[in-house]
Chain A
Amino acid sequence: MSSPSPGRTLVFKILRHNPQDPTSEPHVARFELEEYEGMTLFIALNEIRERFAPDLQFDFVCRAGICGSCGMVINGRPGLACRTLTSTLAPEITLAPLPVFKLIADLSVDTGEWMRGMSERLETWIHEQTPVDLHAVEERMEPELAEAIYELDRCIECGCCIAACGTARMREDFVGAVGLNKIARFRLDPRDARDDGDFYDLIGDDDGVFGCMSLLGCHDICPKELPLQTQIAFLRRKMVRVS
């Protein structure tokens, strides 16, 4: 278990703003809590809401680092709040909503709409050759290939890579690492009938793979530790080969 740090008083500085409310101005609100062992930002935020700010907005679903709901900027860096133990942070903690995505209120942003848009644009689904025969034995696949696909399939669409990407922050149409990783994932999948030309049509421009400036914030911050650097590089080589 993580080591207890008895008696710390944590100071939370939370960027607050509710665009729904015409009187709301963005401001930093300050809260203090006594820390205890095993405290995560999930626990801390709930306690703050319970005790000080009943209107504080944030999103948690699985609270286990699995669903990707709770991405926020923690001390300047995007991360999953639910699995961040306060003991890993200095006693002064700043929290802000993920940038790029539409702000719902306080720490809650609309990643869902963004991700859906990305999915529609990049057609992130298997384009089947022929529909599967449900009653027949399934197509074979090399075990290593299945594992390699899963490795890329692990993305939870948390949006941290977008918030961590300087390119995405400058150019709103950039598909970001999450989108590029999806293409890498479907490209690897033999069940998808699309070829590199088709993928080029989706990401072969400066909003796609050629917009990436190899800043690697995505790679370093991805909570699922996806191999984003190598995947983007790989795609770039493949897409250049198309031309």
Chain B
Amino acid sequence: MKRNLLPARLDLAQSVTGLVLAVFMAFHLVFDSSILLGANAFRFVSGALEGELIFGQKIPLITTLFAGVIFAIFIAHAGLAMRKFPQNAAQYRAFRSHMKEMRHGDTSLWWLQIWTGFAMFFLASVHLYIMMTQPDTIGPAGSSYRIVFEWKWPLYLLLTIAVVLHAAVGLYRLALKWGWFEGKDPNRRRKTLKKAVWIVSAVYLAMSLAALGAFVHIGLTGQDHFGNQVEVVPR
């Protein structure tokens, strides 16, 4: 009999893609929140990421390519993870009633992951598409314009909540799934990890939502909260 190694590889791939995405997001949201330090900080960060420091000028193609890679990982992860979705109405109902009866934390968290993942499938796709196609618009002015006048703030609001919760819970699950950080007393450690999930989520949410607020503020007033002028017009 030939051993079918596919299931092992798919499971591993699901975790690796999830991990890569989560790590990416951890940085992404920090960079994004540089707007809290003012328009110039954000300009510097976004510029740096587009190769300004190395090449002396911004190269939007880097963003396009990078976003493409992330998009690919994202699609791969979504595809792998979707295997775990309820496959039909009966399974859906079975899980839901089970979750309701059990009132069990980790079971409910999985449901949260399913839904946030499902939502991101649409929300993040839009975002990534924009980032791939309009990398040159990134900057305090362009981003603020997009968020306020192109009505992206509701999308970001939902996406922020979804991605932070999904990634934090995803990382927690990853640790349990592969037995990382078990320590001497795995039950205690699990409690600690869970606490960490909530703390990290809260911190990231606060930070990212504040950043979103900062973009909106710039869009509406034409200046960041340090008073620096930003010219918010369509390019």
Contacts and interface: CB of A to CB of B under 8 A. Distances in A.
A169 B176 contact: no
Interface stretch (A22-30, A43-51, A122-130, A232-240): A232-240
Interface centre among B95, B102, B106, B177 (most CB of A within 10 A): B102
Interface string B102-116: 111011001000000
A32 interface: no
B5 interface: yes
Interface stretch (A107-115, A141-149, A211-219): A211-219
Interface of A: 73, 76-77, 99, 164, 166, 169-171, 197, 200-201, 204-206, 208, 210, 212-217, 220-221, 227, 229-230, 233-234, 236-237, 239-240, 242-243
A234 B101 CA distance: 29
A177 B84 CA distance: 17
Contact of A230 (B9, B11, B110, B179): B179
A240 B8 contact: yes
A150 B63 CA distance: 56
Interface of B: 1, 3-5, 7-12, 83-84, 86-87, 91, 94-95, 98-104, 106-107, 110, 173, 176-179, 182, 186, 190
A242 B102 contact: no
Contact of B98 (A99, A204, A233): A99
A73 B102 CA distance: 9
B229 to A, nearest CB: 51
A88 to B, nearest CB: 16
A243 B13 CA distance: 12
Chain B interface helix/strand/loop/mixed: helix
Contacts of A206: 7, 83
A76 B176 contact: no
Which 4 interchain pairs have the tightest Cβ spacing?
A233-B179, A76-B101, A243-B8, A243-B5
Contacts, number: 97
A230 B186 contact: yes
B104 to A, nearest CB: 5
Contacts of A220: 104, 106
A180 B182 CA distance: 19
A243 to B, nearest CB: 4
Given A234-B179, A236-B178, A210 B98 contact: no
A164 B102 CA distance: 7
Contacts of B1: 201
B9 A243 contact: yes
A240 B11 contact: yes
Contacts of B8: 200, 204, 210, 239-240, 242-243
Given A170-B86, A201-B3, A206-B83, A217 B173 contact: no
B102 A76 contact: yes
B103 A217 contact: no
13 contacts: A73-B101, A169-B98, A170-B86, A204-B3, A204-B8, A210-B7, A213-B84, A214-B176, A216-B106, A230-B179, A239-B8, A242-B8, A243-B9
B178 A237 contact: yes
A216 B4 contact: no
A160 to B, nearest CB: 11
Given A170-B94, A205-B7, A217 B176 contact: no
